[in-house]
Amino acid sequence: MATEKDQQRDAEAEGLSAATLLPKLIPSGAGREWLERRRATIRSWGSFVDQRRFSRPRNLGELCQRLVRNVEYYQSNYVFVFLGLILYCVATSPMLLVALAVFFGACYILYLRTLQSKFVLFGREVSPAHQYALAGGVSFPFFWLAGAGSAVFWVLGATLVVIGSHAAFHQMEAVDGEELQMEPV
């Protein structure tokens, strides 16, 4: 544990912490603000994965209550689980990496062209929205060959299974101000 803190301190000294990398990787705007809010409300990963806190719900009512409360309580953690599954899917599919590279390469080329002059196609000026649609059209065959549709459904299915299982079997700790509920006898 001490070595992890030393490594984190060294990384922060070199300017490689998440707090310093995030502004560099994600441009300012609504997406960055949303991700900052998610990071600020993330719950402890130790309590998130504590094996002693997992048990089978006694009945359907407790299952539903756990699902609702855990999804609300661990919402930010679940977002990062989802993002992790996306990264895993992309990293383990070389063809999907190629398709993403083609798409972002086409977007970058269009961006550079618009900096130099307006993009004209068949004698008409093309708007930025249409330019990015063109980039999507050019890269569509690569996404088709890469099986991007099945990758999307795999990520959605894996996310539902992982998050649903965690939310259903993870016991919630008592929250301050919560009423005590008595079970019928």
pLDDT for 137 equals: 86
Enter the pTM of the model.
Answer: 0.66
User: Do 74 and 113 belong together in one domain?
Assistant: no
pLDDT for 163 equals: 94
User: Do 102 and 142 belong together in one domain?
Assistant: yes
Q: Alpha-carbon distance 78 to 168, whole Å?
A: 13
User: Do 87 and 155 belong together in one domain?
Assistant: yes
User: Do 70 and 139 belong together in one domain?
Assistant: no
User: Do 74 and 104 belong together in one domain?
Assistant: no
28 lies in some domain: no
Domain housing 105 = 94-146
pLDDT for 176 equals: 52
User: Do 89 and 167 belong together in one domain?
Assistant: yes
User: Do 140 and 153 belong together in one domain?
Assistant: no
pLDDT for 121 equals: 77
87 lies in some domain: yes
Distances (CA, A) of 65 to 8, 123, 168, 184: 37, 61, 9, 17
34 lies in some domain: no
Helix (H) or strand (E) holding 120: strand 120-121
pLDDT for 127 equals: 83
Into how many domains does the chain fold? 2
User: Do 154 and 87 belong together in one domain?
Assistant: yes
pLDDT for 81 equals: 92
User: Do 155 and 166 belong together in one domain?
Assistant: yes
185 lies in some domain: no
pLDDT for 166 equals: 93
Walking along the chain (185 residues) 10 residues at a time, the average pLDDT comes out as 47 46 58 76 84 90 91 90 91 88 87 80 82 85 87 93 93 61 65
User: Do 135 and 113 belong together in one domain?
Assistant: yes
Could you tell me which residues come within 8 angstroms of residue 94 by beta carbon, excluding any fewer than 6 positions away?
none
pLDDT for 155 equals: 93
71 lies in some domain: yes
pLDDT for 25 equals: 53
